[in-house]
Amino acid sequence: MATALEPRGKRRIKRPRWIKEPFNREARAGYLFILPWIIGFLVFTLGAMIYSLVISFTNYDLSTNTAAPVGFSNYERLLEDPKVMTSLGNTLYYAVLSVPLEICFALLLAYLLHRIPDRGAGVFRVIYYLPKMTPSVAAASIFLLLLNGNSGAINTFLGWFGIDGPQWLIDPTWMKPSIILIGLWSVSGTMLILLAALKNVPKDLYEAAALDGAGAVRQFFSVTVPMISNALFFCTIVLTIAALQIFDQAFLLFYRDTTNAAPDAALFVGVYLFQQAFQQFNMGFAAAIAWLLFVIILLVTVVQVRFGNKLVYYEGGRS
Amino acid sequence: MASVVNSQPQALAESNPDNRSAAAKSRTSPWYKPRGIIGQTVLWALLIGFSILFLYPFVWLLSATFKPREDVFDNRLIPETWVFDNYVQVWEQLPLLSWLGNSFTIALLAAGLVTISSSIVAFGFAYFRFPFRNLLFGLVLGTMMLPGAVTLIPQYLIWKDLGFLGTNVPLWGANLFGSAFYIFLQRQFFLGLPRDIFEAARIDGCSYFGLFRRIALPLSIPSFIIVFVFEFQASWTNLQAPLVYLNFGQPSEYTVPLGISYAMSLFSPTSGGEADYQYVMTAALLVTLPMLILFAIGQRYFIEGLAGQGRKG
């Protein structure tokens, strides 16, 4: 009977089965399987976000467990507190410098590994990946001494070339570059993603380019980079989101001790957020900082996606 | 026979477009072409140079653990005077065994739970068809983009309201509900399995959960190992969460990263103590070793899993 109602001469549209029977046995089983995620999402993501929004409009004090609504005053304080602006500036400085440097360095390493046979590459891949396995505390304690201005290995190395190395961890100008340097040491996660992308570039493209007379450099920029632009784009977004939240190294090297006031030169938003929430116990204000950080990350990501989609080459058209 | 096939000249294999296996091989094998003696020398020099750069801090750390206090800033890789007392001192002054035990328990729970829960959820998204499936999966991907710093405070308050503050439950509890990145990873893997085998099992009377436990699970051991090692490493090296949830307890309740951070303060001159960096270095080495051992065992899966990710697509 149902078929009689359909217009003649038109092809029957095949509908998914669940439109006829939305909550059949299979659908119910599916929901049961994804139930853990649904609970987690409702509590720890959606619930947490709403909770944090509510708190940001109160003066929630962790030490006394009291909260009174204060309207927008936490958000007004974002504009007035000079440390917010300082930490924001530092964070953007760090992200703008560290992300391109990490991408370039990771690409260089991946390219080198790509150019040697797999058997030899295995050893180097393991060596290059070791820093990623090192807990950030261990890395920070190592670099605490390697970056020592007077006798650290890095300044000794610079000394061989007649360069008088700076006081990395004391001079405010060099505090952020120190953290960038440590980040470069453990860039291998990005390296592996780019290496996988390099392996996927069809070999015949290089042969065609070589026939057209393209040298190694030309091939790199005209074949390799466009073909892996998708992976480069992905790494840029992930690294930017991570860079805007930088915490571990800055906290360990400079803001571990609450008694010892380090200069604000490496005070990042993530660090200030932590200080306000868990050292000053101003949860309400900290929640407002978190929302500011969220909005910034969202804006940066949206801008990157819009610009990136123009630059990225997608095999088989845009998805 | 196989050796005969493999030994045929590369040029011949490539000139034959119908030889699919040779074409596939040339596609996936690295683009490798010796480019003269100078190019090769530069290539290998760079590779070895970077290896030294990456390994030097480890070698230096190892040597620092054998140096007396006054030599710890010394850049010699072989200590002038060998000292073994650092290990004894660290063992006596810091509850290293408790830290390692705590971290191990937490990492094992976190990694084990997230591996199981994520793969159950991933199977739900991969196999079943139900209303709003794509919308919900879009939400999963969306949460991957959500910065952890943003949910740190509310999650802390949720755990506080639930009464789990000062315990290690917040450090693994949320893993019961799966994690977006791993759900995505496992789903990709499940989608790669042929649907026919599941349909055949259904016809044979296998339950939905049986499909997961008897078919999907045994076939996805490699992706299990990847997720487990990933999360174990993430949990082992996590500093911020233990700092938030365990900082106010006894030092013996700390995890490894929190413990080292505590040792850095304890032995640093700014907090009034002596600058006993040799102890910090020794502790740092001792807590890095388990990770390096795990990496040595799992690196094949780990690196292949990460680097091989794009190859399926």
Q: Is residue B163 in some structural domain?
A: yes
Say if residue A308's pLDDT is above 90: no
- One domain, residues B78 and B109: no
- One domain, residues B204 and B159: yes
- Under DSSP, is residue B276 helix (H, G, I), strand (E, B) or coil? coil
ipTM exceeds 0.85, yes or no: no
- Domain residue limits, chain A: 25-75, 82-311
Q: Is residue B16 in some structural domain?
A: no
- One domain, residues B76 and B104: no
- One domain, residues B81 and B114: no
Q: Is B229 exposed, middle or buried (0-12, 13-18, 19+ CB in 10 A)?
A: buried
Phi, psi of A61 (to 5 degrees): -110, 120
- One domain, residues B181 and B113: yes
Q: Is residue B311 in some structural domain?
A: no
| % of chain A with per-residue pLDDT over 70 | 91
pLDDT score of B269: 65
User: Average pLDDT in the B84-95 region?
Assistant: 89
- One domain, residues B62 and B112: no
Which residues are within 8 A (CB) of B112 and not within 5 positions of it... i.e. 6 or more apart?
A: B228
pLDDT score of B10: 37
Q: Which of A142, A157, A227, A304 to probe by mutation at the B interface, max B CB count within 10 Å?
A: A142
CB-based contact B156:B190 (threshold 8 Å): no
pLDDT score of A12: 59
The tokens for A2 are 């149902």
pLDDT score of A1: 42
Q: Does B132 touch chain A (CB under 8 A)?
A: no
- One domain, residues B44 and B182: no
Q: Is B104 exposed, middle or buried (0-12, 13-18, 19+ CB in 10 A)?
A: middle
Distance CA A205, CA A211 (A): 10
Q: Does B277 touch chain A (CB under 8 A)?
A: yes
CB-based contact A148:A166 (threshold 8 Å): no
Say if residue A202's pLDDT is above 80: yes
- One domain, residues B183 and B211: yes
CB-based contact A141:B264 (threshold 8 Å): yes
Distance CA A133, CA B234 (A): 9
DSSP string, B180-201: HHHHHHHHHHHHTS-HHHHHHH
Q: Determine, for residues B152 and A273 on separate chains, whether the beta-carbon distance falls below 8 Å.
A: yes
Average pLDDT over chain A reads 87
Distance from CA of A2 to the nearest CA of B (A): 22
pLDDT digits (tens, 9 = 90+) for B196-235: 999 999 999 999 999 999 999 998 888 888 888 889 989 9
pLDDT digits (tens, 9 = 90+) for B154-205: 999 999 989 998 889 999 999 999 999 999 989 988 998 888 999 999 999 9
Nearest CA in chain A to B240: A248
Q: Is residue B297 in some structural domain?
A: no
Q: Determine, for residues B35 and A216 on separate chains, whether the beta-carbon distance falls below 8 Å.
A: yes
Q: Is residue B302 in some structural domain?
A: no
The matching CATH number, chosen from 1.10.3720.10, 3.40.718.10, 1.10.40.60, 3.40.50.80, for A82-311 is 1.10.3720.10
CATH number for the domain that contains residue B167? 1.10.3720.10
CB-based contact B177:B229 (threshold 8 Å): no
User: Average pLDDT in the A70-83 region?
Assistant: 92
Say if residue B24's pLDDT is above 90: no
- One domain, residues B75 and B198: no
pLDDT score of A11: 58
Helix ranges, B145-220 (H): 148-161, 169-172, 180-191, 195-203, 208-210, 217-219
Residue B136 structural domain: 96-253
Q: Is residue B207 in some structural domain?
A: yes
- One domain, residues B85 and B108: no
Distance CA A36, CA A268 (A): 35
pLDDT score of A20: 64
DSSP state of B80: S
CB-based contact A67:A284 (threshold 8 Å): yes
CA A288 from chain centre, in angstroms, equals: 21
Q: Does B257 touch chain A (CB under 8 A)?
A: yes
CB-based contact A165:A155 (threshold 8 Å): yes
Q: Is residue B259 in some structural domain?
A: no
Number of domains in chain B: 2
Q: Is residue B273 in some structural domain?
A: no
Phi, psi of B125 (to 5 degrees): -75, -30
Q: Out of A57-71, A228-242, B19-33, B86-100, which region has the weakest mean confidence (pLDDT)?
A: B19-33
Q: Determine, for residues A151 and B149 on separate chains, whether the beta-carbon distance falls below 8 Å.
A: no
- One domain, residues B169 and B110: yes
Say if residue A260's pLDDT is above 60: yes
Q: Which of A130, A155, A276, A299 to probe by mutation at the B interface, max B CB count within 10 Å?
A: A130
Q: How many CB atoms lie within 10 A of CB B179?
A: 26
Residue ranges of A 65-84 with Cβ closer than 8 A to chain B:
none
Q: What angle do CA A231, A233, A234 make, to 5 degrees?
A: 65
- One domain, residues B136 and B226: yes
Distance from CA of B252 to the nearest CA of A (A): 18
Say if residue A134's pLDDT is above 70: yes
- Under DSSP, is residue B1 helix (H, G, I), strand (E, B) or coil? coil
Pick A288 or B269 by higher pLDDT: A288
Length of chain B: 313
Distance CA B238, CA B242 (A): 7
